[in-house]
Structure 1
Amino acid sequence: MAGQVCVARIGAAHGVRGAVKLWTFTEDPLAIEDYGPLATKDGGRHLELTSAREAKDHLVVTFKGVTTRDEAERLNGLELYIPRDKLPATEEDEYYHADLIGLDAVTTADEPLGRVIAIHNFGAGDIIEIAPESGTTILLPFSNAVVPTVDIPGGRVVIELPREIEGDG
């Protein structure tokens, strides 16, 4: 399991009293309040939420010690993390994307493809990124058709390669 999980990204300042827009990656956006202080990836900074409210497609939040628009603007773009063990337990057939990082990726014929290095979402759905031993990374849609099996105890994901990639081998 991954040590840290990105649960939110800070956006632009909102108003003049230190509030910011916050995009959460949690099922319930307001669950972000339950995780305690949020840290930057390097752990160099911890931010404690003092208030949160829902807006159109994000939250508007304030952090302890951030009281001016200038201070809020300096936070823009920061990703916020929590320890993986602070997340709720998953059901038997559920997992967090962070749990997939580092797993082996194999084809349905059990041929190695590489390791899962990231799960991205650029707005049109999740993308799984696989790094082979050599060559460029592979980006594939993360769906049940492309990733029919996730075997966390076995340390692997099974990938159904699209025909156009299969022939490139």
Structure 2
Amino acid sequence: MGVLKGAHGVRGEVRVKSFTADPDALFTYGPLMDEAGKVLVTPLSARPGKDHFIVRPKENLQKEEWDALRGCLVHVSRDRLPEADEDEFYFEDLIGMSVYTVGDTPEGRVRAVQNFGSDDLLEIEIPGAQATVYVPFTRADVPVIDMAARRIVIPELALWANPDDDEA
């Protein structure tokens, strides 16, 4: 949902970058936790900064303690999030879904949704493969996501998994 960017000043405030579609919404979901569920920041108030928010937290940590948490991803309790609309989903819901090309035999499963700075990518584990495959997460490359059946269709997965090694 976001990342801690370290202390802001010396009065106990912390900088938080939001990854939510509506960046302000991050602070309406309750405490911000680490991956294990430990509360890191309970926002009392948040104001915009350059590319982040400056948060006045309930927690009383020193500047050095906030700086030590720099880079820590923050999460919120799933039950605090709004329900996804039809044809929407949370990336977390895609993890573990079976991936098909054609037919009824799964050819892989979603390991993660990644973003290395450009666009979102599905990281697909293919049984027997030594590495995972990254597929652009676009409607063109991933035309079917059936949440009820926990099934994703990527028609051209074979092209991603077995790129043509011939050099021109």
* TM-score category, normalised to shorter length: 0.7 to 0.9
Q: Indicate the structure whose relative CO is greater, using CA pairs within 8 Å and at least 6 residues apart.
A: 1
Residue pairs, 1:102-117, within 5 angstroms: 102-108=96-102, 110-117=104-111
- Which one of 14, 25, 33 corresponds to residue 27 of structure 2? 33
Where does the alignment leave 5 or more consecutive residues of structure 1 unmatched?
1-6
The alpha-carbon deviation at position 83 of structure 1 amounts to 2.3
Residue pairs, 1:74-113, within 5 angstroms: 74-108=68-102, 110-113=104-107
Where does the alignment leave 5 or more consecutive residues of structure 2 unmatched?
none
User: What is the aligned partner in structure 1 of residue 115 from structure 2?
Assistant: 121
Give the TM-score, by structure 2 length: 0.86
Structure 1 residues 79 and 166: CA distance shift in structure 2, 3 A: closer
In structure 2, C-alpha distance between the alignment counterparts of 1:15 and 1:166, rounded to whole Å: 48
- Which one of 150, 153, 160 corresponds to residue 155 of structure 2? 160
Please list the CA deviations of residues 9-56 of structure 1 after superposition, one character each: whole Å capped at 9, or x if unmatched. Answer: 111322222222211121111111211112111123442112211122
Which amino acid letter does the alignment assign opposite residue 140 of structure 1?
A: V
| Pair 1:139 & 2:142 matched | no
Across the aligned residues of Structure 1 and Structure 2, the Cα RMSD in angstroms comes to: 2.2
Identity of aligned residues (%): 39
In structure 1, C-alpha distance between the alignment counterparts of 2:44 and 2:127, rounded to whole Å: 45
In structure 2, C-alpha distance between the alignment counterparts of 1:98 and 1:86, rounded to whole Å: 14
Question: Structure 1 or 2: larger strand share?
Answer: 1
Give the TM-score, by structure 1 length: 0.85
In structure 1, C-alpha distance between the alignment counterparts of 2:12 and 2:161, rounded to whole Å: 51
How many residues get paired? Answer: 163
- Helix, strand or coil at the partner of 1:140: strand
Please list the CA deviations of residues 94-143 of structure 1 after superposition, one character each: whole Å capped at 9, or x if unmatched. Answer: 11111111110111455522111111111101011011222211111111
- Helix, strand or coil at the partner of 1:30: helix
Which amino acid letter does the alignment assign opposite residue 139 of structure 2?
A: N
Larger radius of gyration: 2
